[in-house]
Amino acid sequence: MKKVIITGADGFIGSHLVEALVRQGYETKAFVLYNSFNSWGWLDSCSKDVKGKFEVFSGDIRDSNGVRHAIKGCDAVLHLAALIAIPYSYHSPDTYVDTNVKGTLNVIQAARDLGVSKVVQTSTSEVYGTAQFVPITEDHPLKGQSPYSASKIGADQIAYSFYASFQTPVTILRPFNTYGPRQSARAVIPTIITQIASGKRKIRLGATSPTRDFNYIEDTVSGFITAMKSENTNGEVINIGSNYEISIGETAQQIAEIMNQEIEWEVDEDRLRPSNSEVERLWASNAKAKKLLGWEPQFGGIEGFKKGLEKTIQWFGDPKNLAKYKIDIYNI
């Protein structure tokens, strides 16, 4: 693998992946969403040591011709481009099918036709719905409890079908709840941190009882790169998770303790999912990742979680970074 393209490179995880790949010596191509501002998202403020050392392609994964043009000449594709906000999927589901399902088809079709050596399809723990057993293995039933999760189930199945039908070298990587610097404020950890950092002591949240398996960005990035390099994972679905479960309420308390603040929280009705749509419990089994990839989290357990939170809080605590967020607006 010499040349790697990352779709969704302008986003949270994608921008960290670009940096990691450049540092490891890969010829790196960043596929970003075309816009008239010529913005490259988080890559506009990437680390100085990688600035100018990667190629940028502006396009849209919904455009099959552009996708084919972007992927040509690449050895591997890390496909992260997607619409991911669950609340937005409730009132704009068409866009999720177009971007997540059709966009994935465009990527996989181009990869097959161009003879790409490896495709890593980005899944999500949301495809499992509320855990029917824990820890959740890759054999857990899939349940689309939101239009977003349904579209990701569809995208995963499109990707797998190309492996089954045409032997396209696809690995489906299923990260659980990734967090860290640059994450959108629509996610719960940045929501809590930014409210506290801006001086608020009464924090507005949605449901606080659901549990999540939080995965620090460095662990997620290493999972992607390891999966890309692996030769024995074609056709496989692999969880990337910390194997540690914590509730949203407990997470808020951990963040407050690290930031040395006393907080209370109130439920914001606008932040609640419809009752049957809320995923009440997520807890990853990462045994398969350990077995097939030799991957295991460096930020696992409560101590690892605290370490990841400290690094995240430090980044958001920089006034230049905090200023990028509209704290008083609920981001869907």
Residues 128 and 262 in one domain: no
Residues 74 and 191 in one domain: no
Q: Where are the beta strands (DSSP E) in the chain?
A: 3-7, 27-33, 55-59, 76-79, 118-122, 170-175, 177-179, 202-205, 211-212, 214-216, 237-240, 246-247, 264-267
Residues 192 and 71 in one domain: no
Per-residue pLDDT, 332: 81
Residues 186 and 224 in one domain: no
Per-residue pLDDT, 307: 98
Torsion sign, CA atoms 108, 111, 117, 118: negative
Residues 222 and 77 in one domain: yes
The answer to whether residue 295 is domain-embedded is no
Residues 54 and 135 in one domain: yes
In CATH, what number is assigned to the domain containing residue 61? 3.40.50.720
Per-residue pLDDT, 330: 86
The answer to whether residue 172 is domain-embedded is yes
CA distance 81 to 93: 16
Residues 268 and 137 in one domain: no
Per-residue pLDDT, 280: 98
Residues 132 and 170 in one domain: yes
| Those residues with Cβ within 8 angstroms of residue 215's Cβ, 6 or more apart along the chain or in another chain | 175, 176, 177, 178, 179, 240, 241, 242, 284, 297, 299
The number of domains in the chain is 2
> Phi/psi class of residue 247: alpha, beta or left (left: φ > 0; alpha: ψ in -120 to 50)?
beta
The answer to whether residue 34 is domain-embedded is yes
Residues 16 and 38 in one domain: yes
The residue type found at 237 is V
Residues 85 and 199 in one domain: no
Instruction: Print the domain residue range for 191.
Output: 180-212+245-281+301-322
pTM above 0.85, yes or no: yes
Residues 150 and 44 in one domain: yes
CA distance 319 to 115: 46
Give, for all 332 residues of the chain, the pLDDT tens digit: 799 999 999 999 999 999 999 999 999 999 999 999 999 999 999 999 999 999 999 999 999 999 999 999 999 999 999 999 999 999 999 999 999 999 999 999 999 999 999 999 999 999 999 999 999 999 999 999 999 999 999 999 999 999 999 999 999 999 999 999 999 998 999 999 999 999 999 999 999 999 999 999 999 999 999 999 999 999 999 999 999 999 999 999 999 999 999 999 999 999 999 989 999 999 999 999 999 999 999 999 999 999 999 999 999 999 999 999 998 888 78
